[in-house]
């Protein structure tokens, strides 16, 4: 009678332990896959530049370069970081402001970047996106 109880407990414990171990390894695999890629600061288009006073200053030019590079799907990790930095620095507002100025002039190049930025950040941001047309 005690043997039967002991075997039942041992088999339930073994099954639980196997499920916990399998969940652990699945989690590690997903985390590694999520962190695959390089950090944004490892690229040449990192959107912050150092000023002579040794302060970090946001560079919209480097940000646009990064958007164009990462839209081709090279690195999802760096793209997530670039979107986060763009939201912190109100890049959408700067793009819309630049595109409204460029709409008055022929050859609007910033509208494509505005549309790309809005499309890429729309999947993460919950606010509405608006794009400019030339």
- Number of domains, the chain: 2
pTM of the model: 0.50
d(CA 120, CA 4): 60
**Which residues neighbour 89 within 8 Å (Cβ) at sequence distance 6 or greater?**
47, 58, 63
Q: What average pLDDT score do residues 101-120 get?
A: 52
- Domain around 32: 1-36
Whether 111 is in a domain gets the answer yes
In a domain, residue 128? The reply is no
- Check whether residue 46 and residue 28 sit in a common domain: no
- Three-class SS state of 128: coil
High-pLDDT (> 90) share of the chain, %: 16
Report the chain's mean pLDDT, rounded to a whole number.
Answer: 75
* Cα gap 132→101, rounded to integer Å: 11
Answer yes or no: is 84 within a domain: yes
DSSP letter (8 states) at residue 42: G
Does residue 48 sit in the same domain as residue 101?
Answer: yes
- Say whether both 73 and 9 belong to one domain: no
132 occurs within a structural domain: no
Q: Answer with the residue of higher pLDDT: 104 or 30.
A: 30
Q: Does 114 share its domain with 73? A: yes
Same domain, 72 and 25: no
Q: What is the arithmetic mean of pLDDT over 58-62?
A: 85
Is residue 134 included in any domain, yes or no? no
- In this structure, the number of other CB atoms found within 10 A of the CB of residue 95 comes to 25
């Amino acid at each position: 009678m005690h043997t039967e109880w002991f075997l039942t407990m041992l088999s339930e414990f073994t099954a639980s332990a196997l499920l916990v171990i399998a969940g652990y390894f699945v989690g590690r695999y997903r985390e590694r896959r999520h962190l695959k890629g390089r950090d944004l600061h490892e690229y040449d288009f990192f959107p912050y530049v150092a000023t002579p006073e040794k302060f970090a200053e946001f560079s919209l030019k480097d940000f646009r370069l990064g958007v164009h590079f990462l839209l081709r799907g090279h690195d999802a990790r760096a793209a997530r970081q670039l979107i986060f930095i763009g939201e912190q620095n109100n890049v959408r507002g700067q793009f819309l402001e630049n595109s409204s100025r460029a709409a008055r002039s022929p050859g609007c190049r910033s509208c494509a970047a505005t549309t790309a930025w809005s499309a890429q950040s729309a999947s993460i941001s919950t606010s509405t996106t608006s794009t400019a047309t030339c």
